[in-house]
Structure 1
């Protein structure tokens, strides 16, 4: 009886987010981020000024299988910027298989991982090169660039996890916003438009 075995693939992770050996790269542009920022007027002004095809962030990943037990490894590169007082963000997600965890390790830049649970817990973890956050299952998470250079993270998660991106949009944004503090830093403040998360993330 023969057993099919995946072959190890050497990867090279670059501090700028390039991943030699990746199996996929995808990009999100300014035009893809409609509805993500609370200050819609500031977002639309940015689109008008810079163009809808302006890159916001890119992801490179290596995936060898979707089976249980396999891992996806990749890099996320989020460019700096502000929209009103809000810093540039990724769309954010919770895993479709909600108990799946994810590790993020900062390679370059200065960022925050904003984390929330459906029942109302919230945390904002600041990341600089050499620092990591181990995101447990059941936590919604989003990367935020609070610096002036690209915020680059190395991530890994279970290949069968999947992503639910709609949960944030359905709640009119995350419970917290990461904004400029007026003194060159950042602060986490309540999002007054947040409506709460649905209970069944697999619906």
Structure 2
């Protein structure tokens, strides 16, 4: 039996419902200038970047990983700030796992959001999350967080450490099949006319 190394030792994490993890391994941040090509209404995104600055923070992710490779888990929080770009609500870039059969759990800590879900072969779903609700995303599902509220949308997530992310899949397809847009005081799905299908 091997002796655990320092990175294998259980770690206490303090997870904030406002977003963030005390004891995280890393944090990465996305700024408005990083979101070129994400929103269908490119002019609305340009106008927002001009008004708020390309260095305006739009979302950040804290995660903690104790080990790389099969068998280990990554735990983290995603904090997506509210906003609108034309009729679209604020989104993360979204991804499919590079190891496509890897699943991921998202649990809403605060705010109100939608997990937008699609598969390469044409299945689709959109699940609203509010505090206390979770979505268990199976492998082979492309997923993107959408903030449909007026406060930060914060989720706790966990996935296999060897999963990786494929962000290019969405960009190469002209965006996801559906857009999450404002509909009165709520939200609705709208077909994305630029979506050209996913590579298989």
Q: Give the TM bin, normalised by the shorter chain.
A: over 0.9
Q: Give the secondary structure class of the aligned counterpart of 2:46.
A: helix
Deviations 1:140-180 (A, max 9, x none): 00000000000000000000000000000000000000000
The alpha-carbon deviation at position 66 of structure 1 amounts to: 1.1
SS at match of 1:134: strand
Alpha-carbon distance in 2 for matches of 1:27, 1:175: 25
Query: What is the deviation of 1:18?
Result: 1.8
Residue of structure 1 in register with 2:193 after alignment: 192
How far the C-alpha of 1:2 sits from its partner, in A, is 3.6
* Equivalent residue for 1:100, pick from 99, 102, 109: 102
For residues 47 and 99 of structure 1, what CA distance do their matches in structure 2 show?
Answer: 36
- Map Cα deviations across residues 57-102 of structure 1 (whole Å, 9 max, x no partner): 0000001111201000000000000000000000000000000000
Could you tell me how far apart the structure 1 residues matched to 2:12 and 2:51 are?
A: 41
Residue-by-residue CA offset, 1:24-82 (whole Å, 9 max, x unaligned): 00100000000000000100000010000000000000011112010000000000000
Superposition RMSD on alpha carbons, in Å?
Answer: 0.8
Matching of residues 123-142 of structure 1 within 5 Å: 123-142=125-144
Secondary structure of 1:169's match? helix
Equivalent-residue separation in structure 2 for 1:76 and 1:126 (angstroms)? 16
The SS at the match of 1:155 is strand
Matches within 5 A, 1:11-22: 11-22=13-24
2:69 is matched with which residue? 67
What corresponds to 1:35 in structure 2?
Answer: 37
Q: The residue matched to 1:193 in structure 2 has which SS?
A: coil
SS of 2:170 mapped into structure 1: helix
Q: Using the alignment, how far apart are the partners of 1:88 and 1:38 within structure 2?
A: 12
Q: State the distance in 2 between where 1:2 and 1:166 align.
A: 39
Residues 1:116 and 2:121 are matched in the alignment: no
Q: Distance in 1 between matches of 2:121 and 2:32?
A: 31
Gaps of 5+ in 1: none
